[in-house]
Homo-oligomer: A and B are copies of this chain.
Amino acid sequence: MHALVYTDTQKLIYKEEKNPKLVKDESIIKVSASGICGSDMHAYHGKDDRRIPPLILGHEISGIIDKGKEIGKKVVLNPLITCGSCDYCDNGREHLCGKRIILGMNKPIERQGGFAEYVSIPDKNIHELPKNLNMKEAPISEPCAVALHAVELGEKEIYKSLEGSNALVIGAGAIGLLCGLILSKIKNCKDITIVDPNDKRLKESLKYLDADGFKPDSKNIVSDHFDIIFDSVGLETTRQQAIRCIKPGGIIIHIGLTQPSGTFNFRKTTLQEITFIGTYCYTNKDFEKTLKILANKQIGSLAWIEYRNLSDGPSAFKEIHDGSCTFPKIILLT
């Protein structure tokens, strides 16, 4: 099969690779579409110790079952594979399973990803493509589940309703935009601000999201002002903006993984009783709920997604890397 292989830092090659083999309780999917995620970019930059080259990246995937129990079925994949029998799996927090692995990772266990013609996946991770969701758009269900999980962790924690809160979203990539869309269109939050240093991407996001948009260093971003802040970037500077701008008693939801450590104002966290929640992926329930949200068109138009051919993957990664890409999400078509 053809696949886009991550071979070295900032290097991807579209080349011939071995087809995956069918194993028990799994299916082989003929990939239709596969989205580029921030964590694929993190790997591309040589900064993800779970994704070591050579590796086929990609974990936001739709396609058709090619080998397995239900050949020909149109499907969307939940790429988070868990053991199914630990305390976390037994209690609806599968995403925290100690044996979890995601497609397109090879540490500690290898699972080749979706930037390829075919990919192997356990049957329990396969969801039928909802009727109202088209195959090209369907990979967006994965980042949308991440955003839904993040927003609902915040909703569980916040003292007032999300509807009555003001929110800051840091980063206008897919995760930031999806957090904003869920806040706005599903949780009825009416006071949303989104920041991004990339003007083009910010403007594109604001076509779809009812929010104020600014550069991160804008004077419009006031200290001690927001009830809830979503950091979809995860840099030392974005965390520092989050802790500076959060209101006493507020919630910071931390989704981004760009910079693993760094300094932070723990004094304000304590004196102003800030809750800082790390959020990772989604539960199986979140994933199912997301498919319903997308099938019901609850987050509006998805015209902010750009499509390219899988063979053009190298230039897509490069454009995301150098900031020349306007769209918050690129999905590669096989």
Contact = CB atoms under 8 A, between A and B. Distances in A.
Interface of A: 88, 91, 93, 95-96, 98, 157, 159, 234, 239, 248-249, 254-257, 259-280
A271 to B, nearest CB: 5
A248 to B, nearest CB: 4
A26 to B, nearest CB: 25
B159 A91 contact: yes
A254 B264 CA distance: 13
A130 B141 CA distance: 58
Contact of A276 (B91, B263, B276, B280): B276
Given A88-B248, A157-B157, A95 B266 contact: no
Given A276-B276, A278-B273, A262 B255 contact: no
A274 B262 CA distance: 17
Which of A257, A265, A267 has the largest count of B CB atoms less than 10 A from its CB?
A267
Contacts of A275: 157, 275-278
A170 to B, nearest CB: 14
A267 B271 contact: no
16 contacts: A91-B159, A93-B249, A234-B270, A257-B271, A259-B266, A260-B265, A261-B265, A261-B267, A266-B278, A271-B280, A272-B278, A273-B279, A274-B278, A275-B276, A276-B276, A276-B277
B272 A96 contact: yes
Nearest to A249: B96
Which of A96, A159, A255 has the largest count of B CB atoms less than 10 A from its CB?
A96
Contacts of A93: 159, 249
Main secondary structure of the interface of A (DSSP, over half): mixed
Nearest to A255: B270
A13 to B, nearest CB: 29
A324 B157 CA distance: 42
A269 B254 contact: yes
A96 B248 contact: yes
A266 B234 contact: yes
Nearest to A247: B96
A221 B111 CA distance: 33
Given A157-B157, A272-B278, A280-B272, A263 B261 contact: yes
A260 B266 contact: yes
Contacts of A255: 270
B266 A88 contact: no
Given A256-B270, A270-B279, 8 more contacts: A88-B248, A98-B248, A239-B266, A257-B267, A264-B266, A270-B280, A275-B276, A275-B277
A39 to B, nearest CB: 10
